[in-house]
Amino acid sequence: MNRAWSFDLSKLPQKRTYKRFASSIRPIFNLATIPTKVGLFGLGTIFSSVLALAYVLNLSFQKKTQGLSEIIPVFKKNSYAHFWEAIIMGIFMAAALAMGYLLKFENPYWIPVSCAAVMQGASLYHIAQRSLHRIIGTFVGLGFCWGLLNISDNVVMLCFFIIMLQLIVEILVVRNYAFAVIFITPLAIFLSEAANPLIHSPNDLIKLRLMETLIGSLLGALGGWILYKEKIRYASILGFKKISNEFKVG
């Protein structure tokens, strides 16, 4: 009877097995860094808001708006279209981020960023144009970034590049998106990867950035096609109306 209930202790997993198991189920995000990142994000938001407020106040003092008549929009957007756009945008953002983690990229957030930038187009033609511009602009910008990374030896030079790139982007982004992306690409890399050891390996960094931009742009183009495809859009909005009417009747 005792023999039936006995077992060999040597067959139990060792401590290393437990450590491997614990490390395999550790969370994707480092929870300890969340307060710091939230604080930095908040400081940046406050600083941007203060600059925007100062700019608006400056304009309000320069121009008198009392005599202006009310602007009436010519086209009134369907309220159900907002739900449709929000759902599609959320689905593709989640899919883009999940794809980045499934493919085990170093910076998976670059995929949803590229996807969101492409899906912000005002029409199907505009989305296709932005997707093409982003891919071409990123390709050229990565070559430009590779050259800057090879000549930036210290932090002072890196800060100088960031200031100059930001100035150029603000001038070009409202005129030519494709040309602006050439400078947006190195600016985004310098801002997001300044403390990453990968920035000292330009070849690996450029390769990852290009691959993630391609995936994000293609996902954004697909999402934009679904977003502005008339048949899908009309059927979805009609479905939202039916659901809303059923809730009102009930």
Quickly state the pLDDT bin for 17 (edges 50, 70, 90).
Answer: very low
pTM: 0.60
Q: Has residue 24 got a pLDDT over 50?
A: no
Beta carbons of 151 and 193 less than 8 angstroms apart: no
77: left (phi over 0), alpha (psi -120 to 50) or beta: beta
**Domain segments of the chain as ranges:** 14-56, 81-245
Rounded to a whole number, what is the largest CA-CA distance in the chain? Answer: 99
Closest CA to 149 of 188, 202, 185: 202
For residue 223, give both structure tokens: 């999402």
Q: Give the tens place of pLDDT for each residue, 134-164.
A: 788 888 888 888 888 888 777 788 888 888 9
Give the C-alpha separation, 164 to 32, whole Å.
34
Q: Give the tens place of pLDDT for each residue, 74-102.
A: 455 566 677 778 888 889 999 998 988 89
